[in-house]
Chains A and B, each alone.
Chain A
Amino acid sequence: MPELLEVRSEGIYCSQGGFFIDPWKPVAKAIITHAHSDHARPGMQHYLAHHDTVPILRLRLGEHISVAGADYNKTIDINGVKVSFHPAGHIIGSAQIRVEFKGEVWVVSGDYKTTDDGYCVPFESVACHTFITESTFGLPIFSWKPQDELFESMNTWWRQNSADGKTSMILCYSLGKAQRVLHGLDENIGKIYTHGSVENTNHCLRNNGHSIKDTIKVDYYTQKKDMEGGIVLAPPGAVATPWMKRFSNVTTATVSGWMAMRGTRRRQNTDFGIPLSDHADWSGLLDAVKASGATKVLVTHGYASSFAQYLRELGLDSRPLITEFGEVEAADAASDEASEKI
């Protein structure tokens, strides 16, 4: 008998239920953990995602897609398989997918973080037999500082630039990181501007009842002078485009977990790095694995082989699972560019 979930060339598949989770090739039925472009790809006949993810999927993949919304913690029956969505704490609408058949429970985490960021629904641990976890930051060198401390250093940086008459620019993904940064910015320091792709996402979320601080979209009429002392949120892909010509005297910061390493910080070539991540750090991953109570753990994108090896040494049945997740950087930059054209 095949396992409840298996990796096929299209993605993670449940043969009993006849659906895929976050498939990377076009299929009939796709259950989506969250709307980042390495997990929610175009071309599926039907999508099923959390309610909050639905409008973002329409924004990113087109109004025409066939998509249904689900609540957290409510069980749906698909061909006798019990499927439910549970908060993953990664971005708005992100979910872990719980799959149960004949008493056997699997959980696909998607991307997650275990700490509460104060703006999306926090991670809830789900008991299961088999846990499929990400491992983006699955090495012990990754240990995040508290969010308050990072927000404080971000605002201090902005305040100083503002005092120097400079325009600050924060490079962050337009979906998720941008809203979290907005949540942490102190609007008393100055005005907050956005790149088109960030604004499109903000607009979509506001329309669907999420409270997001007021932002001003940078357009043809925005004066360089007006933006001095202010801050601009833009996706990383914007840096290498002519759009940057709209700013003078600008100083840049990258907000990403990778900024914890000096090497990647330097490679980014921005003036400042803020190691704020929407993924769990090493101890967050270990806590999630332990809290799930799973005896079998399959590890996807990141430092999969190291993390699985470590779990085996803890006595768990664990191995890496090869998927096409984790290309969010390239994929999101591309989709950000596309949405700017709209």
Chain B
Amino acid sequence: MKKFTRLFEALDSTTKSSRKIEILTEYLATTPEEDKIWCVALLLDKRPKRPVKTNLMKQWTAEIAGIPNWLFDESYHIVGDLGETIAMLVPQLYSGEDKPLHQWMNELNMLTKKSDDEKKQYVTHAWSNLDKSEKYIFNKLIGGSFRIGVSSQNVFRAIAAYRGFDQSKVAQALMGNWSPYSTTLNELLDDKLNVLDDSKPYPFYLAHQVEGDVANLGPIDDWQLEHKWDGIRGQIIVRKGKVYIWSRGEELMTDRFPELNSLNNFINSDIVLDGEILCHDGQKPLSFSLLQTRIARKVVSAKLQEQAPIKFMAYDILESNGEDIRSQPLSHRRVLLEKLVKDVSSPQLLLSSLVQVSSWNEALQERLRSRNQRSEGLMIKHKLSSYEAGRKKGKWWKWKVDAMTIDAVMIYAMQGHGRRATLFTDYTFAVWHDGVLVPFAKAYSGLTDAEINEVDQFVRKNTIEKFGPVRSVVPKLVFEIAFEGIQKSSRHKSGIALRFPRIHRWRKDKLASEANSKQDLIKILDLYGE
């Protein structure tokens, strides 16, 4: 555990990816096999279920620190991380002996079945034997994310360097279902288990947003254009007559979409398709908010299936007749895909149609129509591209439509947490309605550090009233708020809910009186409402 804590601190002390990979490679090369797999699982967020409820941990901490619950909550709000808050509040009483990472993980696993009293005894005993850094790591072993800036790609790179493998081979070996309790890193890499695992998906190929003028990509005939549908990116796997559905977040979602489960009745060879899981009525896609009613449901009623019908919009084929065809050119894979969708002829399996244009200018016109078709914009894929692993530049680009925007006035500010604990960084925005400002959105990202400091100073000097951590401020600052979607909502005071609102820029050139009105928002709602 001391070694894993030192690894964490070393990774945390640098922002350079190359250095992080070096540190991780060094750790893998010098750590016992049983601990390696746990390190990889934790960094990839493939972790066991939390054995101890956070509420219990809060309660025990408040007891040990001798503080009321509200003061724990205030502290937590400022620190922004439960594991760290606890580490800061609970003192170390003894210097305990060091246990290896896998032993901690096994002990925590056994805790799952124990009573709350036994859990309390185990956890508080561990707390009093660990120093602040170790306590923080221990709390993270119980649950929560490390947020340490090590992407899965970087983990793959480090493993690739450590074993002298190709990075995409590592990515492939670590996909799908495996358990750190029952396997080792070397077993995974040496493919001993993969032959048995029919459910294993391929790493997703992800695109960057196109930069600069799209015409710089060269002749449009070299590229395949299609819409970027607004659902859940997924893979459908049919192997040995069984269906597996994976989300891009590597979650196995087969049971959530029974509509797609019957595809094995139509397909009698082993195939893997990449595509979008959508709510769709057979004619056109339905709203993303409808799909949201399905995502979390593990048991799906017939009624819900009728209200929110699911289809799979196929983009690509990665495996055909049991053969990995990712390295074949896209144009070739497209021919296979079209044939397959036609042969299968299932109402649940749709083909993402190509956008037929003869110039970039025509493509631009089609992109502008995206929102009306509930698409997020266009995908531009090179016809000769192979299907890569991870986010890569060059052959695939996304060309999303610009976000919708509205100018709004900041009326409340709240102190941020985590990285921004000492600054006012979380703001509430309002638009005009009958001469009054009505709040409609909260946002906290999109400003530079210098701008955040400037707004923070403004808030401190222009506070009207304080309500706990929230301050109402003189309505003076105008910001352009960007968002991806808009819908009616009975839960919000304004009657409107925005999807992914964020600060696009600070309109220092505008007075509060020049901000938009609720009427303007309703116009957008009528045009594009979900």
Contacts and interface: CB of A to CB of B under 8 A. Distances in A.
A263 B80 contact: yes
Interface in B438-468: 449, 453, 457, 460-461, 463, 466, 468
A306 B74 contact: yes
B89 A267 contact: no
A238 B98 CA distance: 42
Interface string A45-83: 000000000000000000000000000000000000000
A242 interface: no
A305 B14 CA distance: 36
Contacts of B466: 305
Interface of A: 139-143, 258, 260-264, 266-267, 269, 271-272, 303, 305-306, 309-310, 313, 322, 324, 327, 330
B68 interface: yes
Contacts of A141: 75, 78-79, 85, 88-89
B419 A140 contact: no
Contacts of B71: 139-140, 306, 309-310
B529 interface: no
* Interface size class of chain B, counting residues whose CB lies under 8 Å from the partner chain: 35 or more
Given A140-B65, A330-B457, A263 B74 contact: no
Interface string B57-87: 0000000010110110011001111001100
Nearest to B149: A266
14 contacts: A139-B74, A139-B75, A139-B78, A140-B67, A141-B85, A142-B88, A143-B88, A260-B88, A262-B84, A263-B418, A264-B419, A264-B421, A271-B14, A305-B466
Q: Which 9 A-B pairs have the closest CB atoms?
A: A263-B418, A141-B88, A263-B419, A267-B419, A141-B75, A306-B74, A139-B75, A140-B67, A263-B421
Contacts of B2: none
Interface of B is mostly: helix
A143 B65 CA distance: 12
Contacts of B74: 139, 303, 306
A177 to B, nearest CB: 17
A262 B421 CA distance: 10
Contacts of A264: 419, 421-422
Interface of B: 12-15, 65, 67-68, 70-71, 74-75, 78-81, 84-85, 88-89, 91, 136, 417-422, 449, 453, 457, 460-461, 463, 466, 468
A140 B89 contact: yes
A313 B419 CA distance: 30
Given A141-B75, A143-B88, A306-B71, A262 B468 contact: no
Nearest to B456: A330
Given A140-B89, A141-B85, A261 B79 contact: yes
Given A141-B89, A267-B420, A313 B68 contact: yes
B13 A272 contact: yes
B12 to A, nearest CB: 7
A317 B460 CA distance: 26
A269 B68 contact: no
A313 B460 CA distance: 27
B420 A263 contact: yes
A332 B380 CA distance: 51
B422 A258 contact: yes
A139 B419 CA distance: 17
Contacts of B79: 141, 261, 263
A272 B13 CA distance: 7
A327 B419 contact: no
Contacts of B421: 261, 263-264
A322 B71 CA distance: 21
A334 to B, nearest CB: 11
A271 B457 CA distance: 27
A310 B417 CA distance: 21
A255 to B, nearest CB: 16
Nearest to B416: A263
Contacts of A143: 88, 91
A263 B81 contact: yes
Nearest to B466: A305
Given A141-B78, A261-B78, A263-B418, 9 more contacts: A141-B88, A141-B89, A262-B136, A263-B417, A263-B421, A264-B419, A269-B15, A303-B78, A306-B74
A140 B74 CA distance: 10
